[in-house]
């Protein structure tokens, strides 16, 4: 009877098998299993008490001893537990061992992984987030998980701040704002077209195309003034009001588009219309039968003839003044000119005014720089008229008294710098255009510049005391090659600084690149005595 029962039990539970418990659910040899809280040890065995049928309870989810309870006597079954490997843990529950004789922890073996920035010890070495630099890591910039990303840009992290180092091909950063990345799509292959778009993504639209500059167009045989603008193909054109030839009238315009102005009213063909049928506002020929008499003619002094039609015969002899004050004007000076067409007075040299003006005035006061404006053909007391204004160089004898430098005249005895037919209207001088040599003593030898297309203005009077010009301005253009040639006289340490503060701002040839510098000077001139 006892043998039969044992055989039956062997068939049902293998209770009589003496091979020991199965190791299939045991953790790996290097992993330590720990119960969590106050769970009973994992190796607690089955109850020693047999049930009504004399069968011992095993841990298998069944009521082996038929006492109405399941797996009783297996302490800790179902409790939380963890497996520990170095600094890593994994959690699980106490479950029945495969042999039914005890409980084991089903926590998976801890698995070290590559360290990531998450505030955890991912690689189980006892350190968190090692090898991650929040100052420079674009995936974790300033804090874990803060990924640097910008539209169409290559991101980076610099001192814990997200930036981008470059734009993706085909895009640019036109607005300079980091937050929106490279927001500008490059068009037209990056070449600027005249289309109202920023094709090269440099923050400017249609730059370098000479837009809004004055131009002359020809239509139906007529030449008409306009401004440079965009055409439909992305190029530039001269925008103008459509014109058609009309009958010539005396208004200073080429109405019939034949290349001549007021020719039907110009009896002597000198380019100036006579008074008959013409408005008084235009410069009129005082003798329309004599081509030698017109507003552009040079008046021969004291010959009894008014060649330049200003109403008086020019007196002979010149009257000189000396420049007592000379300075580079500041930005937007009232007497400066708008050479680049932006609607504001220009003066590229205003940036060195503070550096140079003290030395310029010292040179004037000491006589190192002596400039003598001299009138030819202007009568004493005149408030109106046309005359020649020469700019002579002098050698100071004493303050107010000068000898004229022989270098002021050419081989024929003409002044080298001469503004023919300068205009005086109610005491206001308007002369030019012409050339004006300007000396800037700065950091050593004087820097000599050739101011071209110069215009002179100011309040001029000629009385018994002599010639006076107050509140004068000299505005013109200095070609880039002229500046470069002048810089060679300066010490190298000074010459290298000048281009840093001077930038060309005038496009003389209209190719879209600035190649000259606007210049504007202020001066006063007082009566001078000329010594033999």
pLDDT of residue 445: 62
41 pLDDT band, cuts 50/70/90, is: very low
- Do 339 and 473 sit in the same domain of this protein? yes
- CB neighbours of residue 4 within 10 Å: 8
pLDDT of residue 33: 63
Q: What is the pTM of this model?
A: 0.55
- Examine residue 266 and state whether it is found in any structural domain, yes or no: no
54 pLDDT band, cuts 50/70/90, is: low
pLDDT of residue 428: 95
- Do 32 and 152 sit in the same domain of this protein? no
pLDDT of residue 268: 86
- Do 182 and 113 sit in the same domain of this protein? no
Contacts of residue 215, defined as CB under 8 A and 6 or more positions apart, other chains included, come to 225, 226, 227, 228, 238, 240
- Do 398 and 326 sit in the same domain of this protein? yes
Among 25-39, 252-266, 272-286, 373-387, the range of highest mean pLDDT:
373-387
CB 459 within 8 A of CB 471: yes
pLDDT of residue 314: 87
Q: Is the pLDDT of residue 13 over 50?
A: no
- Examine residue 9 and state whether it is found in any structural domain, yes or no: no
Residue ending a domain, choose from 207, 235, 252: 207
Closest CA to 136 of 121, 157, 120: 157
pLDDT of residue 18: 42
pLDDT of residue 309: 85
441 pLDDT band, cuts 50/70/90, is: low
Closest CA to 432 of 453, 404, 459, 450: 453
Lowest mean pLDDT among 167-176, 260-269, 288-297: 260-269
pLDDT of residue 105: 93
pLDDT of residue 27: 43
- Do 427 and 518 sit in the same domain of this protein? yes
Mean pLDDT of 24-41: 51
Cα dihedral sign for 95, 97, 100, 101?
Answer: negative
Torsion angle, CA of 457/463/467/468, rounded to 10 degrees?
Answer: -50
Q: Give, as one character, the DSSP assignment of residue 282.
A: S
pLDDT of residue 499: 75
User: What confidence tens digit (pLDDT) does each residue in 280-296 have?
Assistant: 655 788 888 888 888 88
Q: What is the mean pLDDT of the chain?
A: 83
pLDDT of residue 64: 87
- Examine residue 307 and state whether it is found in any structural domain, yes or no: no
Residue-range definition of the domain harbouring residue 322: 318-530
- Examine residue 216 and state whether it is found in any structural domain, yes or no: no
pLDDT of residue 269: 83
Contacts of residue 413, defined as CB under 8 A and 6 or more positions apart, other chains included, come to none
pLDDT of residue 321: 96
Residue ending a domain, choose from 95, 126, 157: 126
Collapsing DSSP states into helix, strand and coil, what is residue 460? strand
- Examine residue 400 and state whether it is found in any structural domain, yes or no: yes
- Do 145 and 92 sit in the same domain of this protein? no
pLDDT of residue 44: 46
Q: Give, as one character, the DSSP assignment of residue 345.
A: -
495 pLDDT band, cuts 50/70/90, is: confident
Strand partners, 163: 156
Q: Is the pLDDT of residue 75 over 80?
A: yes
- Do 179 and 41 sit in the same domain of this protein? no
127 pLDDT band, cuts 50/70/90, is: confident
User: What confidence tens digit (pLDDT) does each residue in 392-416 have?
Assistant: 999 999 999 999 999 999 998 899 9
- Do 103 and 153 sit in the same domain of this protein? no
pLDDT of residue 40: 43
Q: Is the pLDDT of residue 329 over 70?
A: yes
Residue ending a domain, choose from 63, 97, 126: 126
Q: How many domains does the chain have?
A: 3
pLDDT of residue 520: 93
- Examine residue 467 and state whether it is found in any structural domain, yes or no: yes
- Do 347 and 448 sit in the same domain of this protein? yes
Q: Is the pLDDT of residue 157 over 90?
A: yes
DSSP 314-328: PPSSEEEEEEEEEEE
pLDDT of residue 442: 59
- Examine residue 250 and state whether it is found in any structural domain, yes or no: no
Q: Is the pLDDT of residue 19 over 50?
A: no
Q: Give, as one character, the DSSP assignment of residue 143.
A: S
User: What confidence tens digit (pLDDT) does each residue in 508-525 have?
Assistant: 887 878 889 999 999 999
Mean pLDDT of 133-146: 93
51 pLDDT band, cuts 50/70/90, is: low
Mean pLDDT of 122-146: 89
Question: How distant is the alpha carbon of residue 425 from its chain centre?
Answer: 44
39 pLDDT band, cuts 50/70/90, is: very low
User: What confidence tens digit (pLDDT) does each residue in 350-376 have?
Assistant: 888 887 888 889 989 998 889 999 999
- Examine residue 267 and state whether it is found in any structural domain, yes or no: no
Tell me the C-alpha distance between 94 and 35, whole Å: 8
Among 242-246, 314-318, 500-504, the range of highest mean pLDDT:
314-318
Q: Is the pLDDT of residue 17 over 50?
A: no
- Do 457 and 517 sit in the same domain of this protein? yes
Task: Catalogue the E-assigned strands of 28-187.
Answer: 32-35, 80-85, 88-96, 103-105, 153-158, 161-167, 171-172, 184-185
pLDDT of residue 89: 82
- Do 374 and 491 sit in the same domain of this protein? yes
DSSP 26-57: PPPTT-EEEE-TTPPPTT----S---TTSPPP
Q: Is the pLDDT of residue 50 over 90?
A: no
- Do 499 and 386 sit in the same domain of this protein? yes
Tell me the C-alpha distance between 387 and 163, whole Å: 66
Tell me the C-alpha distance between 523 and 431, whole Å: 15
Tell me the C-alpha distance between 26 and 509, whole Å: 91
Give the length of the chain: 532
pLDDT of residue 498: 73
Tokens of 378: 């202007």
Tell me the C-alpha distance between 8 and 270, whole Å: 144
User: What confidence tens digit (pLDDT) does each residue in 461-476 have?
Assistant: 999 999 999 999 999 9
Q: Is the pLDDT of residue 337 over 80?
A: yes
43 pLDDT band, cuts 50/70/90, is: very low
Between 33 and 478, the more confident residue is 478
């Amino acid at each position: 009877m006892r043998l039969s029962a044992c055989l039956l039990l062997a068939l049902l539970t293998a209770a009589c098998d003496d091979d020991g418990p199965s190791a299939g659910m045991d953790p790996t040899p290097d992993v330590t299993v720990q119960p969590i809280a106050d769970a009973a040890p994992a190796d607690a065995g089955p109850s020693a008490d047999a049930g009504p049928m004399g069968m011992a309870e095993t841990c298998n989810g069944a009521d082996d001893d038929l006492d109405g309870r399941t797996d009783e006597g297996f302490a800790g079954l179902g409790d939380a537990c963890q497996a520990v490997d170095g600094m890593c843990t994994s959690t699980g529950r106490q479950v029945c061992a495969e042999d039914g004789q005890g409980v084991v922890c089903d926590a998976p073996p801890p698995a070290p992984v590559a360290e990531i920035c998450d505030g955890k010890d991912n690689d189980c070495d006892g350190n968190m987030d090692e090898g991650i630099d929040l100052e420079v890591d674009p995936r974790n910039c300033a804090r874990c998980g803060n990924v640097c990303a910008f539209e169409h840009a290559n991101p980076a992290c610099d001192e814990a701040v997200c930036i981008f180092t470059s734009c993706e091909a085909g895009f640019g950063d036109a607005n300079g704002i980091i937050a929106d990345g490279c927001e500008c799509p490059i068009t037209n292959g990056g070449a600027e077209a005249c289309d109202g778009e920023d094709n090269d993504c440099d923050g400017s639209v249609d730059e370098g195309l000479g837009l809004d500059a004055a131009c002359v167009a020809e239509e139906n045989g007529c030449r008409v003034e306009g401004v440079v603008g965009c055409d439909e193909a992305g190029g530039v054109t001269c925008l103008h009001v459509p014109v058609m030839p009309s009958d010539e009238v005396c208004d200073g315009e080429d109405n019939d588009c034949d290349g001549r102005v007021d020719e039907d009213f110009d009896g002597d063909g000198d380019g100036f219309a006579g008074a008959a049928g013409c408005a008084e506002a235009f410069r009129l020929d005082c003798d329309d039968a004599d081509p030698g008499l017109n507003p552009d003619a040079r008046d021969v002094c004291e010959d009894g003839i008014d060649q330049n039609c200003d109403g008086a015969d020019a007196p002979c002899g010149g009257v000189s003044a000396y420049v007592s004050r000379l300075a580079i004007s500041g930005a937007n000076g009232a007497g400066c000119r708008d050479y680049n067409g932006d609607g504001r007075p220009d003066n590229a040299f205003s940036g060195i005014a503070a550096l140079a003006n003290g030395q310029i005035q010292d040179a004037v006061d000491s006589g190192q720089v002596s400039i003598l404006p001299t009138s030819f053909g202007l009568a004493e007391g005149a408030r109106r008229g046309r005359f020649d204004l020469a700019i002579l160089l002098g050698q100071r004898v004493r303050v107010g008294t000068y000898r004229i430098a022989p270098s002021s005249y050419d081989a024929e005895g003409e002044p080298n710098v001469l503004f023919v037919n300068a205009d005086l209207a109610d005491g206001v001088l308007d002369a030019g255009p012409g050339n004006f040599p300007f000396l800037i003593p700065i950091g050593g030898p004087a820097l000599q510049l050739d101011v071209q297309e110069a215009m002179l203005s100011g309040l001029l009077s000629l009385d018994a005391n002599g010639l006076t010009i107050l509140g004068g301005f000299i505005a013109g253009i200095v070609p880039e090659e002229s500046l470069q040639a002048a810089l060679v006289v300066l010490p190298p340490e000074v010459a290298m600084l000048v281009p840093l503060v001077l930038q060309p701002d005038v496009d003389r040839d209209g190719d879209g690149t600035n190649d000259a510098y606007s210049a504007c000077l202020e001066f006063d001139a007082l009566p001078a005595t000329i010594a033999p």
